[in-house]
Amino acid sequence: MNIRKAQISDSAQIAPILLLAMEDIIYKFLKKQDYASAKDFLLYFIGKENNQYSYQNCFVAEENNEIIGAVNIYNGSDLEILRNPIIEYVRSNFNPEFDPEWETRAGEFYIDSLGVNSKFQGKGIGSTILRFLIDEYVIKNNQTLGLLVEEDNPLAKNLYLKLGFQVVGEKTLVGKRLEHLQISPKTLSL
């Protein structure tokens, strides 16, 4: 398996993979539970530059020329700039009152979403992607990684804890309560 920065040509393969990780949240953005609309929404933004879901902020896991996993990650200090195109689009096309909470902030690189193609789930691909991110951001670049996990997803939370993430608080995103976890150079050396 090869993990690499995403390219614009990967957009069509990335969208359904990331949607696996954030389907409920995108439905809340769009104020409708429609898979095709949610996938089109993500595809639109993944294929554009300078927004939080852009291919520019993604890595892909590839095997035999097929993308089997994807992760969306960006500097938390850039959230406002990266999210503005999303907010404007959602307000003008789906939800005029759209005003999402800030799920990240300066001081962490935020793992917005991570998904694995359903045909390849349960084979350690998500763990491999996370280890890659820990190596790239925490070990090599002395940065803190952060992510949110749903309270009713103990399998994911246990994986994050096993990899060295620690619970640092709670956040709310589109009305959902989530736990905020981080891993940093300091916590790795404990």
Q: How many structural domains comprise the chain?
A: 1
Q: Distance between CA 58 and CA 21 in Å, rounded?
A: 14
Residue whose pair of structure tokens reads 């539970």 in the numeric block: 33
Residue pLDDT, tens place only, 42-70: 999 999 999 999 999 999 999 999 999 99
CA pair distance 57, 148, nearest whole angstrom:
17
What is the per-residue pLDDT for 49? 97
pLDDT of the residue at 190: 59
d(CA 116, CA 125): 7
What's 128's domain CATH number?
3.40.630.30
Provide the residue range defining the domain that includes 114: 2-188
d(CA 63, CA 74): 24
Residues in the chain where the model's pLDDT stays below 50: none
Burial class (CB in 10 A: 0-12, 13-18, 19+), 9: exposed
**What was the pLDDT predicted at 189?**
63
Q: By C-alpha distance, which of 37, 11, 180 is closest to 112? A: 180
For residue 7, the model assigns a pLDDT of: 98
Q: Which two tokens stand for residue 80?
A: 């406002």
Element housing 30 (H / E): helix 11-30
Return the DSSP state at 96: T
Distance CA 97, CA 155 (A): 34
Beta bridge partners of 115: 70
pLDDT the model gives residue 173: 85
Contact 68, 62 (CB under 8 A): yes
